[in-house]
Amino acid sequence: MSGPDGALVLGIETSCHETGIGVVRGHTLLAHAVAPGVAERARSGEAGPEDVARAHLEAMTPTVNRALSRAGVGLPDLDAIAVTAGPGLAGSLMVGVAAAKAYALALGRPLYGVNHLAAHVAAGRLEHGALPQPCAALLMSDEHSSLLLVPDVATEVRPLDAAMDEAVGEVFAKVAGTPGLGFPEGAGIDRVARDGLPDAIVFPPGTGDGEAYDFSLAGLRTAVVRRAEARERAGGPVPAADVAAAFQDAVVDVLTRKAIAVCREHGVRDLLIGGGAAAGARLREPARQRCDVAGIRLRLPEPGLCDDNGAMVATLGAELMIAGLQPSALDLPADAYLPVTSITV
């Protein structure tokens, strides 16, 4: 086996809708592959949790093989297996954890069960080198939204007292589903927003703010719907693209403002933004500009590494190995509610 710095690690991610497999050598990404899965059907309510788990099962072997072949390595070359042990959908997590155990057992390699949220943070290591210690992390996606302080991604991740009443993706989906706003069926808000004019709807300052670091995305959602309705009554419908653009900009505004306030309060100079919603084009440039103005260095992984993926899991597994932490037991559980403070299980 190679030393930990050059360990070849396979990462398996199945906590939600995408089957993601990644291969890293130490801190270097060799390849990753994502099966499309049933994400669209699951979001539109056509596929339930069992369908999603079955899709992971069917996609597992072909996606592992695809990632290995892209990386130019074979199963026997692997030094360790890492897998998302939680949080996430229970049935989906179980498929990934069972597969990871099978690979670890068959190959006689150590297994690292890791936290999905900490893995999103670890993804920031791949393109831009070692994570500053500490850094702050803002994670946002359909399923989870959190603000974290990360002294060391391998050993200590602390949730900050930030709460969102709804996850970012959930709020986007609800706005897109509002009858009368004219959103094209099934289109993601990011795509619709591309041609929109964000100034079409103006929000009063503080919309979306909760107490202290808390966000009130439900409040923002209500505000956007009410304003669109009022405009419609006054002079005809507001184009869906404008509603989408205004809403996205308002979300980016409230999230980045809070994240920067957190950095200032904790004397942290570096902010990492990750999670599926961070892959959206409208978020990336404004977040960059706002961090520049505030003198905060921003780490924004490329879109494919912001979405759920196996590379981030493999990277966190490699970080744990390099830090000399013990692997997980082979009977490690999948934990749908794994707290972010448990980086490994």
Smallest distance from the beta carbon of 202 to Zn ion, in angstroms? 32
- Which lies closer to Zn ion via its Cβ, residue 14 or residue 248? 14
Least spacing, CB of residue 120 vs Zn ion, in Å? 6
Tell me the number of residues near Zn ion by CB under 5 A. 2
CB of 20 to Zn ion, least distance (A): 10
Q: Minimal distance in Å, beta carbon 143 to Zn ion?
A: 6
Q: How many CB atoms lie within 10 A of CB 211?
A: 10
CB of 301 to Zn ion, least distance (A): 12
Using the minimum distance from each CB to Zn ion, give the nearer residue, 228 or 259. 259
Q: In terms of CB distance, is 100 or 245 closer to Zn ion?
A: 100
CA 106 from centre of chain: 30
Q: How far is CA 274 from CA 72, 181, 307, in A?
A: 28, 29, 8
Q: Which range binds Zn ion by CB under 5 A, 29-37, 49-57, 66-74, 308-316?
A: 308-316
Residue 112 or 183: which CB sits closer to Zn ion? Answer: 112
Query: Which residues 6+ apart lie within 8 Å of 137 measured at CB?
Result: 120, 121, 124, 146, 147, 148, 149, 150, 271, 272, 273, 274
Q: How far is the CB of 338 from Zn ion (least distance, A)?
A: 13
State the Cα–Cα distance between residues 91 and 289, nearest whole angstrom: 40
- In angstroms, what is the minimal distance from the CB of 39 to Zn ion? 12
Q: Does 270 bind Zn ion (CB under 5 A)?
A: no
- Per CB under 5 A, the segment of 21-29, 227-235, 258-266, 304-312 that binds Zn ion is 304-312
The Cα 97–Cα 99 span in angstroms is: 5
Structure tokens at 4: 């930990």
Tokens of 339: 């707290």
Q: Which residue is nearest to Zn ion (CB)?
A: 308
Contact track, Zn ion, 128-157, x by CB under 5 A: -------------x----------------
Question: Residue ranges of the alpha helices (H) in the chain?
Answer: 39-43, 49-71, 90-107, 116-122, 124-128, 168-176, 189-193, 217-235, 240-266, 281-294, 303-306, 310-322
DSSP secondary structure of 193-216: HTT--GGGS-PPTTTTB-STT-B-
Contacts of 165 (CB under 8 A, 6+ apart): 210, 215, 216, 217, 218, 219
Contact range with Zn ion by CB under 5 A, out of 34-42, 103-111, 165-173, 300-308: 300-308
**Nearest residue (CB) to Zn ion, 63 versus 141:** 141
Show the CA angle centred on residue 92, arms to residues 88 and 98, nearest 5°.
115
32 or 227: CB nearest Zn ion: 32
State which residue, 268 or 313, has the beta carbon closest to Zn ion.
313
Residue with tokens 């003198």: 295
Report the DSSP beta bridge partners of residue 86: 115
Residue from 308, 318, 335, 338 in contact with Zn ion (CB under 5 A): 308
Q: Which is nearer to Zn ion, 68 or 313 (CB)?
A: 313
Helices 240-266, 168-176: inter-axial angle, 10-degree rounding: 160
Q: Does the footprint of Zn ion cover residue 18 (CB under 5 A)?
A: no
Closest to Zn ion by CB, 183 or 215: 215
Q: Under the rule (CB under 5 A), what is the footprint of Zn ion?
A: 141, 308
